[in-house]
Amino acid sequence: MPQAEVYYAQQFFTKEESDLYLQRLAEQVAWQQEEIKMFGKQLPLPRLTAWYGDKGYTYSGLYNAPQPWLPVLQELKERVEAASGDKYNSVLLNYYRHGQDSMGWHSDDEKSLGPGIASVSFGGERGFAFRHRERKDIPPVKLTLQHGSLLLMQGNTQRHWQHQLPKTSRPIAPRINLTFRNIIS
Ligand SMILES: O=C(O)CCC(=O)C(=O)O
């Protein structure tokens, strides 16, 4: 991927670790059904979300107040920091209950965000895609995010590429994704 720094570890966590993390996160995280305003209407986000971290953060126009780290989140953060060499002070969690839950094309390129984002996935395997923001001649890059995988997006990735988690009509197990981030202001 030109103008990107992306690394993917398919089995960063073992199957046993991943099964346990999926269960702990599903049970312990304070999942919320947020709404966003679109075309003058309040619509539910197509996923459940939660935010933990040292600082508050506005995402998709929604303010997330700082919330203390749960032990399970602290544990995951330390494992991921050791692998990526980056430091994170926040995590956004997304719970995709079925194939109709999704995340549209976007870049995590807010000015207040450090360039290194680490994405951890547990549960049902889902397709994930990148597309270059300016160069239509570069084909999109597709991958399947596996149970227990780690995807690092570093350097200029967010500036030049968007990513999405499309809907699928395949019957699919619930999936939890964590994106560890560093809020710098
Ligand atoms: O669930 C995923 O893999 C995508 C998450 C994502 O794009 C985000 O949190 O910005």
Digit-coded pLDDT (tens) for 32-53: 999 988 889 999 999 999 999 9
Q: Amino acid letter at 79? A: R
Mutation test residue for ligand 1: of 119, 125, 152, 168, the one with most atoms within 8 Å of CB? 119
SS3 state of residue 60: coil
Residue 60 has pLDDT above 90, yes or no: no
Q: Whose CA is nearest to atom 9 of ligand 1?
A: 179
Mean pLDDT score across all residues of the chain: 95
User: pLDDT band at 65, cuts 50/70/90?
Assistant: confident
Element (H, E) at 75: helix 71-84
Q: What is the pLDDT of residue 64?
A: 80
CATH homologous superfamily of 5-181 equals Alpha-ketoglutarate-dependent dioxygenase AlkB-like (2.60.120.590)
Burial code (b: 16+ CB inside 10 Å, e: under 16) for 104-136 equals eeebbeeeebbbbbbbbbbbbbbebebbbeeee
Q: Amino acid letter at 105? A: W
Lowest mean pLDDT among 62-66, 76-80, 86-90, 105-109: 62-66
User: pLDDT band at 17, cuts 50/70/90?
Assistant: very high
Element (H, E) at 171: none
**Does the Cβ of 163 fall within 6 Å of ligand 1?**
yes
Rounded distance, CA 44 to CA 38, Å?
10
Q: What is the pLDDT of residue 110?
A: 86
Residue 16 CA to ligand 1 center (angstroms) comes to: 23
Q: What is the pLDDT of residue 152?
A: 98
CA dihedral 125, 57, 88, 109 (to 10 degrees): 70
Residue 135 CA to ligand 1 center (angstroms) comes to: 22
Nearest to 131 by CA among 142, 116, 147: 142
User: pLDDT band at 57, cuts 50/70/90?
Assistant: confident
User: pLDDT band at 185, cuts 50/70/90?
Assistant: confident
Nearest to 182 by CA among 147, 150, 158, 165: 158
State pLDDT tens for residues 74-103. Answer: 999 999 999 999 999 999 999 999 999 999
Q: What is the pLDDT of residue 167?
A: 98
How much of the chain exceeds pLDDT 70, in percent?
Answer: 99
Residue 90 CA to ligand 1 center (angstroms) comes to: 14
Q: Whose CA is nearest to atom 1 of ligand 1?
A: 177
Lowest mean pLDDT among 104-118, 122-136, 141-155, 165-179: 104-118
Which DSSP letter does residue 166 get? -
Residue 118 has pLDDT above 80, yes or no: yes
Nearest to 50 by CA among 66, 61, 37: 66
Rounded distance, CA 175 to CA 123, Å?
4
